Chains A and B, each alone.
Chain A
């Protein structure tokens, strides 16, 4: 797919759609506080980056996202392992987890702000809660996916539960765990932004809210661009590790030519 011709087409398509946007907005006369032109958005982006404003706020949001991601996914991995390993943990805990999972976690953000205040703690927590579940669910599914013949092979050698876990179940669960991480990293950013909307001293979510009340729509668009860049970078980072870790997974080879979402 990555031929020179296709690359050229991609660039042409991008440039022409930006131009079309510019022209349509100018000709139709929509006021710029409703829908800005791309040139205004890029100006706002440049101003924000050059003044160091975006960097400062992005730093806050990114810190909350990454910390939330690390905490949430670690907890998901840990609890998922306990659930997949111990029947009793599964039996007594899983109903609550399913119940909690079906709840839209972003709706909890105001409560977290109430409990933890308007500092970064509530953002980290919100982010952690939202990336906990994909990891939990995928870890459980992954650890249980071990092939029966492989388990039999290990058992016939007298392997302990720990050995079966270490040599078979855990590596076998990695495709599921990596898929969970990829999902979780995007969710972590959403968790942090939503918590910032509820109330914060700094962060890109706060910036969007301030701009919104000042009717600075081109500013908001430019922050959205920054957020997409952050989301994309986080996602690509996980993909990078995924390819390294799952070099042996047949689905990984077919995935590389697939869409990068």
Chain B
């Protein structure tokens, strides 16, 4: 299939994102609040990175900054070598809720980034249809979001996040609102989609198991101010079946991360 041309020149090697000494400070009524403290990360092109941490550790702040929705207080971010200064059209986002537009059909929802970015509609529609079959919603393109289940809606959101062929896919607790069974199923699906598309993914999650299952690398953040306290490379073969969650290696990774939280006062 043909994808729309990437907006930035693609360098297949090297860092997709490099975050240097990034801090984020909010001014609130109670005074200054340090949300993220001196974050240093390099994320390789095509890798799947998860961030886990307790509530209020600044995970979502990191996501908003990378999406160009908020400026950093200090430090710098570069994407594919160009400094990040604001929103750019080559990022896909998936939120905890599907954030679909109820007045648009499933296909028109997936097409939205194409319209906003002013890309070729004919070609975009083709890409959107391919993505809908990739997420298993081939026959649902003319349905409306409110006719679909929560899991299906989130698949539409994933298809939408990929339609502009983004350099980076940001996922903020994408399956947090789903029931446990659907969530596991969606984890397997996301792995499949990722293995087919090989996007750089940054997944933010509360679930240690989800992070270990999906990611090549798990960044563990501490409670406020958010700091990276561990960087765990998950060396498990892919595709990982759900049963991999029962393996001793998987258990060891989960235990390592969980111990880290317990030492720091636990996840709330």
Q: Which residues in A have some Cβ–Cβ distance to B below 8 Å?
A: 147, 149-150, 152-159, 163, 167-168, 171, 174, 248-250
Contact = CB atoms under 8 A, between A and B. Distances in A.
B101 A167 contact: yes
Given A152-B67, A154-B116, A158-B88, 8 more contacts: A149-B97, A156-B68, A156-B87, A157-B113, A157-B116, A159-B116, A167-B101, A171-B103
Contact of A153 (B89, B99, B103): B99
Contact of A156 (B69, B102, B115, B146): B69
Contacts of B88: 158
B117 interface: yes
Given A167-B101, A167-B112, A171-B101, A153 B95 contact: yes
Contact of A249 (B102, B116, B117): B102
A152 B117 contact: no
B99 A156 contact: no
Interface string B81-107: 000001111010101010101110000
B164 interface: yes
A158 B87 contact: yes
B64 interface: yes
Given A157-B87, A158-B87, A167-B112, A248 B99 contact: no
B95 A149 contact: yes
A150 B87 contact: no
Interface of B: 64, 67-69, 86-89, 91, 93, 95, 97, 99, 101-103, 112-113, 115-117, 144, 146, 164
19 contacts: A147-B99, A152-B64, A152-B67, A153-B99, A154-B116, A156-B67, A156-B91, A157-B87, A158-B89, A158-B116, A158-B117, A159-B116, A163-B116, A167-B112, A167-B115, A167-B116, A168-B101, A171-B103, A250-B146
Given A156-B69, A248-B146, A150 B99 contact: yes
A124 to B, nearest CB: 33
Interface-central residue, A149, A150, A152, A249, by most chain B CB under 10 Å: A152
Nearest to A164: B116
A154 B87 CA distance: 10
Contacts of B103: 171, 174, 248
Nearest to B161: A153
A147 to B, nearest CB: 7
A155 B102 contact: no
A150 B157 CA distance: 12
B173 to A, nearest CB: 12
Contacts of A153: 93, 95, 99
Contacts of B115: 163, 167
Contacts of B91: 156-157
Ordered nearest first, which 8 A-B pairs have the shortest CB separation? Answer: A156-B67, A248-B102, A158-B87, A157-B116, A248-B103, A149-B99, A159-B116, A171-B103
Nearest to B93: A156
A168 B100 CA distance: 10
A155 B99 contact: no
Contacts of A163: 115-116
B199 to A, nearest CB: 15
Contacts of B164: 157
Contacts of B68: 155-156, 158
A100 B241 CA distance: 67
Contacts of A156: 67-69, 87, 91, 93
A154 B69 CA distance: 10
Nearest to B115: A167
B190 to A, nearest CB: 19
Contacts of A167: 101, 112, 115-116
Given A147-B99, A163-B116, A155 B144 contact: no
A241 B78 CA distance: 50
A168 B109 CA distance: 11
A153 B160 CA distance: 11
A167 B112 CA distance: 8
A83 B144 CA distance: 32
Given A163-B116, A167-B115, A248-B102, A155 B146 contact: no
